[in-house]
Amino acid sequence: MTDSPHAAESPHASQSQQVSHSESPLRLLEPARLVPLLEIHHVEDAAPLARAFVAAGLRTLEIALRTKGAPNAIRAIRAQVPEALPGAGNVMTPLDLHLARECGALFALSPGGTDALLDEAAAMADFPFVPGIATASELMKTITKGFHVVKFFPGAAMGGPATLRAMAAPFPHARFMPTGGVSEEDLDDWLAQPNVVAVGGAWLAPREDIARRDWDAIARRAESAVARHQAIRA
């Protein structure tokens, strides 16, 4: 994509850009449906944690960039667990976005979306990015920037699945990945929404289990969630 300001003003260039921003995250999230949100403090935990999820059938992972070990954890997963598809979460600034790509993340996600972050992500058209929204006005802003696949955060506090049902009519092309307060108990309701492309959640890998390095417990929880989702689809 050209950096020319004239190309940016072209309606054809804008339409192409919007399709790119929408389709690249969909290719990662749509097959996944469940995306574990992981907080990794120690790089040596990264590979066994990723292997536990891959074995359960969950390859797409969100590693939150809120620990010092997160960038190296992503590097370790890319090097040691090639089947995994790690993304960088909690991206707050353009610098975070560049860090995500430099450490090997295959995509990036944010709980929100400032103008600076959205503009930088739009300029990095080859790097899939999922901004976050909580309201209709925030969604309108992200759509204006060319992003139609968004995080809905904090999902539970902002009305849960009922809010996304209400947003379906005015925003028919928007697709959501709810996080924040999502649990195994309400997973079915979230995934039943046609505009929900995937659901993210820290409940799949509680901090306590990671601290104990109880990879078997994490794998069992993941397998249970996958089996439940498959049963619903059947």
Is residue 62 part of the annotated active site? The answer reads: yes
Q: Which two tokens stand for residue 10?
A: 């072209």
Cβ(77)–Cβ(50) under 8 Å?
Answer: yes
CA distance 99 to 229: 33
Is residue 9 part of the annotated active site? The answer reads: no
Q: With b meaning 16 or more CB within 10 Å and e meaning fewer, what string describes 27-46?
A: ebbeebbbbbbbbbeebebb
Among residues 9, 23, 30, 62, which one is catalytic?
A: 62
3-state helix, strand, coil in the chain (%, to 5): 50, 15, 35
Q: Which residues are catalytic?
A: 62, 151
